[in-house]
Amino acid sequence: MYRVYFYFIQNFSIQKGMDGLHRILVFLFFLSLGLINFGCTDSSQLQNPNSDGVEAYKLDAVGENKLLTEYPTYILTPREVRNIYVHGNNKDWEDVWTDITNDFSESFTNGIGKGSDQYAAEDGNFTTYITIAAPADPKDYTLTFHAGTNRVSSSLPCSTTIRVVATRQFDIRYCYMTGYDILNDANNVISYNASNTMVNGFEDAKTSINIQTGINGIDKASTTLMDPLHTNLKPEDLLYSWAISTIPKSGNSAARNHSTWLFSLYSNNFTMGTIYGLSPGVTITLDNGQDIEIGISTVYVDKCLTAAANVLDATQQKQFVSLMLLHELGHARSTYLGADYRYPNNLTDAPHTGGHKGNGSKSCCVRYMPLNTSTPEFGDFKSGLKNIHFCNGHLQMLFNCNFIEE
């Protein structure tokens, strides 16, 4: 690029028959323009360091001789088995292990850099995991980790809280417009196995789904709610206002704290899906005076289908609707993670680009959907439609979401 630029400058001044001084001036002028142009722009590219399959789970680099867990608190259900990812930095360490205590009668252990699903760099930085099993009683436990060689600890011990909770349940109140019932679309008319996609996605996240009917038979007239022509009023505010007023008519008995109201709607305006809530903010007062927080997720079926029409075949377009469903529910599930995890994760901080780690990271359903064949990520996006999933990094986040209706 630079070479072409210099060649152009040189030829420009020669062709114009300029004398030496003018040629130097022209050269300097173009040079400064070139430096401004090349220097002031951010030409960084999107990076996808991981790939599907057995690509390593990689956490941030840490200082020498340090050992850290990914999260300060891990949420597990009774006797649940879960990987705890730890990262550290020392070239000589071979293993990580946990202490034996009254609560944990065995020491969980793993080698460093031993498997292709682990990350180990030349500079000593590594990420590995230890598979632990939770105790049976729901309460908080402390688990301490060590790293070293021949089980001799040479790291400062690192402790984390293991919070055992009775259940990890996602409460969904399902609302749909007439003709847009994607969860009961048995013949795959407007979506493709949407219900299975939702159930399987959250099964991977070890999350049970408690789904109840919220509002059905929504009138198509509501589609104007997301019209971008309302530039003065936020479309999400309009939808919220509509939902909050409609719930008492149709779904009052189903309104519960921390439930997510999932709307499957028509709309071919601007937006494929939205998340509104969960916490703090979307608060409504029940008839008994209780203030509850709810989330509102929407899937705009027609917009998904038309947005994908030019780049995907008919089946893939319907799979894309199902992907959008899991994507929005992923956002909704992670917006409230309890007092310890208000906004800890990339599902909320950098929801499309961040947090992708380990297996399935390139085609994770949380990624931004590149509906353009010339986008480098398009191939991964398209192949992900066959097996719509959360990547390992986002599954770890979702394991830590345990809020249930109260």
One-letter amino acid for residue 211 of the chain: I
- Nearest approach, Cβ of 15 to other proteins (angstroms)? 11
Residues in contact with other proteins, shown as a per-residue x/- string from 43 to 82 under the rule CB under 8 A: xx--------------------------------------
What is the C-alpha separation between 252 and 259, in angstroms, rounded?
12
- Nearest approach, Cβ of 360 to other proteins (angstroms)? 19
Site for other proteins in 25-44 (CB under 8 A): 25-26, 29-30, 33, 36-37, 40-44
- Nearest approach, Cβ of 263 to other proteins (angstroms)? 13
114 is a site residue for other proteins (CB under 8 A): no
Are 134 and 78 in contact, with CB atoms under 8 Å apart?
yes
Nearest residue (CB) to other proteins, 184 versus 241 = 241
Quick one: which of 251, 230, 276 has its CA closest to 176?
251
Q: What angle do CA 141, 144, 147 make, to 5 degrees?
A: 160
DSSP 377: T
Nearest residue (CB) to other proteins, 165 versus 255 = 255
Nearest residue (CB) to other proteins, 113 versus 354 = 354
Site for other proteins in 362-401 (CB under 8 A): 368-369, 371
Contacts of 7 (CB under 8 A, 6+ apart): none
Residues in contact with other proteins, shown as a per-residue x/- string from 219 to 258 under the rule CB under 8 A: ------x--xxxxxxxxxxx-xxx-xx-xx---x--x---
Nearest residue (CB) to other proteins, 143 versus 247 = 247
- Nearest approach, Cβ of 138 to other proteins (angstroms)? 27
Nearest residue (CB) to other proteins, 61 versus 238 = 238
DSSP notation for 282-350: -EEE-TTS-EEEEEEEEEEHHHHHHHHTTTS-HHHHHHHHHHHHHHHHHHHHHS---GGGSS-STTTSS
Site for other proteins in 307-326 (CB under 8 A): 307, 310, 324
What is the C-alpha separation between 245 and 239, in angstroms, rounded?
10
Before 325, cis peptide (omega within 30)? no
Nearest residue (CB) to other proteins, 121 versus 292 = 292
- Nearest approach, Cβ of 93 to other proteins (angstroms)? 35
Contacts of 391 (CB under 8 A, 6+ apart): 50, 355, 356, 357, 358, 359, 360, 361, 363, 364, 366
The residue written with tokens 């703090």 in the block is 280
Coil, helix or strand for 4? Answer: helix
- Nearest approach, Cβ of 289 to other proteins (angstroms)? 8
Q: What angle do CA 228, 273, 379 make, to 5 degrees?
A: 115
Which residue from 83, 155, 271, 361 is in contact with other proteins, where contact means CB under 8 A? 271
- Nearest approach, Cβ of 141 to other proteins (angstroms)? 30
The HSE-up count of residue 291 (CA atoms within 13 Å, CB side) is 5
Nearest residue (CB) to other proteins, 130 versus 294 = 294
Structure token digits, residue 391:
């990547």
Nearest residue (CB) to other proteins, 277 versus 360 = 277
The HSE-up count of residue 187 (CA atoms within 13 Å, CB side) is 3
Pairing of strands 158-164, 140-149: antiparallel
Site for other proteins in 272-291 (CB under 8 A): 272-281, 283-287, 291
Site for other proteins in 327-366 (CB under 8 A): 327-328, 331, 335, 343, 348-349, 351-352
- Nearest approach, Cβ of 305 to other proteins (angstroms)? 11
- Nearest approach, Cβ of 144 to other proteins (angstroms)? 31
Nearest residue (CB) to other proteins, 190 versus 275 = 275
- Nearest approach, Cβ of 126 to other proteins (angstroms)? 30
Structure token digits, residue 175:
């609302």
The residue written with tokens 């917006």 in the block is 335
Residues in the chain: 406
- Part in contact with other proteins (CB under 8 A); list of ranges 10-18, 125-133, 150-158, 204-212: 10-18
